[in-house]
Amino acid sequence: MLTAYTSDEIRAAERELMARLPEGTLMRRAATALAVACVNVMPRVYGSHVVLLVGSGDNGGDALYAGADLARRGARVHAVLAGRKTHEGGLAELLRAGGRTVPARDEAAAADPALAALLGRADVVLDGLVGIGGTGPLREPYATLARLTAGLPGVVVAVDVPSGVDASTGEVAGEAVSAQLTVTFGAVKAGLLIDPGAGRVGTLHPADIGLGPYLPDPGVTALTGPDVADRLPRPGAESDKYRRGVVGVVAGSDRFTGAAVLSVGGAVRAGAGLVRFASAAEPVAQVRARWPEAVTTILAPGEGVGEVGRVQAWVLGPGMGTGDDAHAPARSVLDTDVPVLLDADGLTLASRDPGLLRRPAPTLITPHAGELGRLLGVPRAEIEARRLHHVRRAARELGVTVLLKGSTTLVAEEGRPVRVNVTGTPWLATGGTGDVLAGIAGAFLAGGMSCYDAASCAAHLHGLAGRLAAGEPGAGQAPIAALDVALHVPAAVRALMASA
């Protein structure tokens, strides 16, 4: 399992470790790891051009020591000194190794065309402007320098965290560096996994500097492939369709028949023992045609699910509509004593009638940012800007498990670490993929998984299926449709089992 920490937790661990080491040891370890990572992305070191963006803090010192290492190997190194002060030991070592300095301590100096030209000639640019303590918008000249790193032909390497990204939350308040590689020291910072900051990290390279024994229990985690494989329900010799889990699905309408097909498909392909589907006549006909495995029930307008049959979990909401007729089946599902996954139109109903979520049985909601915004009464943009804050708030205030969909999917449950999904592809940003995800998670709930594990494992599997559908790495990628994702779920399960 991948663990991630706040900047305060990292700093506390660093203080404990530094108290046991000679002065400067930790910075030397970090600088060595940084220099090695730079060497690995350079076509050659001797004769290459490296530019260091150096702020006032320890990240600037890391960059200077790494730059000195690269200069001793024959690289031409320029340090752009942007802070009010500069790490004296690192600067002295860089100068002894043959590095040069360029002052840029105000906005005018940072905007000098000669500096932009210098950056444009660099093979590698090291961003050591702001470290893990940086919060809020970058001040000048850092903001201008961060802006200058956009679109450079060379490789931009962030030192510990891209400047302008909040290391604890992933929030970005203004200008920020977009790196191709982030070398983070000691442990992964939570903000490097959560958008919008995660989108500026590039390849994440954790470098071990010895902090492990001094770190607390993490507040943010991410499941790896083996973690998910260990949690997936597996049939045994005595299994039958009922023991494997019966999931009920209420989805679709005369207008949105596809949501029914996709959510049922996600459940079927994720290994549900039996899927019971209930809806209006047209979506039932579509489900019967595409998924004959499902047992279907036609609901009359305003009818509940009392005649559908016994299930171990429900999926409620994809494409079911939000009119008066939708409230009765929603209420009948939420009045049951089994776990319920609430998605899409079901969430819209809950935003109008919050009492729907007040139930003693486990409840998992799967909103996108707009839907969560309606539930919490805040704008969508605010959810997207502060994803970690609002997913925690929703789990606490609504008393449910929350899977917040988006460019980085987060799973929150009060009293548990927030889980970040690290699989997926931008090709999943297409209509209907959320319906497939709901079906997968519903199958896992029916198979006996907790809401927390079902949501986390479903997001991981859904992302992996999306990658497989879009194309294997190295073979080129292509657009996908939501049904492609459902059809690739078994291949994703096989890949996970092979990784265990």
- Is 160 part of any known ligand binding site? yes
- Is 127 part of any known ligand binding site? yes
Nearest to 269 by CA among 455, 492, 480: 492
Range list of β-strands (E), 312-413: 313-316, 340-342, 363-365, 401-404, 410-412
As a whole number of angstroms, the distance between CA 57 and CA 60 comes to 5
- Is 319 part of any known ligand binding site? yes
Q: How many helices (H) and strands (E) does the chain have?
A: 19, 19
The CA distances from residue 261 to 23, 116, 322, 438, 449, in Å, are: 63, 54, 19, 12, 23
Nearest to 356 by CA among 309, 314, 390, 389: 314
User: What is residue 168's three-state secondary structure?
Assistant: coil
What's the full length of the chain, in residues?
500
- Is 137 part of any known ligand binding site? yes
- Is 133 part of any known ligand binding site? yes
- Is 5 part of any known ligand binding site? no
- Is 59 part of any known ligand binding site? yes
- Is 164 part of any known ligand binding site? no
Question: Do residues 458 and 419 make contact, with C-beta atoms less than 8 angstroms apart?
Answer: no
- Give DSSP secondary structure letters for 63-90: HHHHHHHHHHTT-EEEEEE-SSS--HHH
Question: Do residues 210 and 30 make contact, with C-beta atoms less than 8 angstroms apart?
Answer: no
Report helix angle 88-96 to 58-72, nearest 10. Answer: 10
- Is 476 part of any known ligand binding site? no
Q: Is 176 left (phi over 0), alpha (psi -120 to 50) or beta?
A: beta
- Is 415 part of any known ligand binding site? no
- Is 135 part of any known ligand binding site? yes
- Is 343 part of any known ligand binding site? no
- Is 370 part of any known ligand binding site? no
- Is 421 part of any known ligand binding site? no
Tokens representing 305 are 């699910």
> Letter for the amino acid at 159?
V
| CA quadruple 285, 433, 369, 380: dihedral sign | negative
As a whole number of angstroms, the distance between CA 482 and CA 500 comes to 27
- Is 407 part of any known ligand binding site? yes
- Is 7 part of any known ligand binding site? no
The CA distances from residue 248 to 84, 131, 136, in Å, are: 63, 49, 46
Tokens representing 248 are 């009920």
- Is 136 part of any known ligand binding site? yes
- Is 87 part of any known ligand binding site? no
Query: Binding site: residue ranges?
Result: 58-62, 127, 131-137, 142, 160, 163, 259, 319, 368, 405-409, 434-435
Binding-site residues for K(+) sit at 59, 127, 163
Residue list for the binding site for AMP: 405-409, 434
Known binding residues for (6S)-NADPHX are: 58-62, 131-137, 142, 160, 259, 319, 368, 435
